[in-house]
Amino acid sequence: MFGADDIAALFTRDGNYLCARWGRPVAPVIFGLSDETLAIFRDVTRAALVHAGHPQVETDPEMGANLMSFFVRDWDELAEIPDLDGLTGQQDLPQRLKAQTADQYRIFRFDSDGGIRACMTFVNMGGGLADAHPAGLAEVMVMRALLTFAQDVTPSRELADLIRVAYDPVLPVVARDQSHAMRLAARLQRR
């Protein structure tokens, strides 16, 4: 079970604590998968949101889709996405990901209250993830998109419980103080 220090470490980057959850219903869309694999990702996403107690919708009224996942076999394929620089707010993303030999990359956007407004995930299936099982990869991707983890996390029952606790309506949508980790830990112990 996660203690307060473990939780604080999960959400601390460069000395700054940030734990934000989705503040609006999630409207997922996935590009670049076969129909069979797409069905697995949709089912896993739906199950994770149900477990977190957070709604999923067909479309977001402002953005259409707000949880966007792009699967490619090579980072150069990202150049085919219309206005990628405008979508991501980042110049030369494919070149940077190639240079870093990254398998995946995630970008969060936030509403004015600090809650997650959108999440874009880019996954290179041509490298180390080529042999990943679709259900396992789907679980990893959705868990990493539900909260603003400062580091990569591995799906587990404990992590699922932490996500569910973080979505408790009495807790803030966003927290920037590490005392929040103590609140999460206390709620986990009561489960």
Banded model confidence at residue 17, pLDDT cuts 50, 70, 90:
very high
- State CA 24 to chain mean position distance: 14
Tokens of 32: 């670049």
Per-residue pLDDT of 115-145, as tens digits, reads 999 999 999 998 788 888 999 999 999 999 9
pLDDT average, residue stretch 154-161: 96
Helix H or strand E segment including 85: helix 84-88
* All domains of the chain in start order, with CATH: 1-21+154-186 (no CATH), 24-146 (3.30.379)
Residue 46 has pLDDT above 80, yes or no: yes
Distance CA 118, CA 79 (A): 21
- Residue 110 C-beta-side C-alpha neighbours within 13 Å: 13
Q: What is the pTM of this model?
A: 0.93
CB contact at 8 A, 121 and 69: yes
Dihedral sign for Cα 113, 153, 44, 164, please: negative
Q: What backbone torsions phi and psi does residue 41 show, to the nearest 5 degrees?
A: -65, -40
In Å, how far are 39, 85, 164 from 17, measured between CA atoms?
A: 35, 28, 19
* Closest C-alpha among 108, 122, 138, 139 to residue 74: 122
Which pLDDT value is given to residue 136?
94
Residue 191 has pLDDT above 90, yes or no: no
Which pLDDT value is given to residue 129?
85
Per-residue pLDDT of 66-121, as tens digits, reads 999 999 999 999 988 999 999 999 999 999 999 999 999 999 999 999 999 999 99
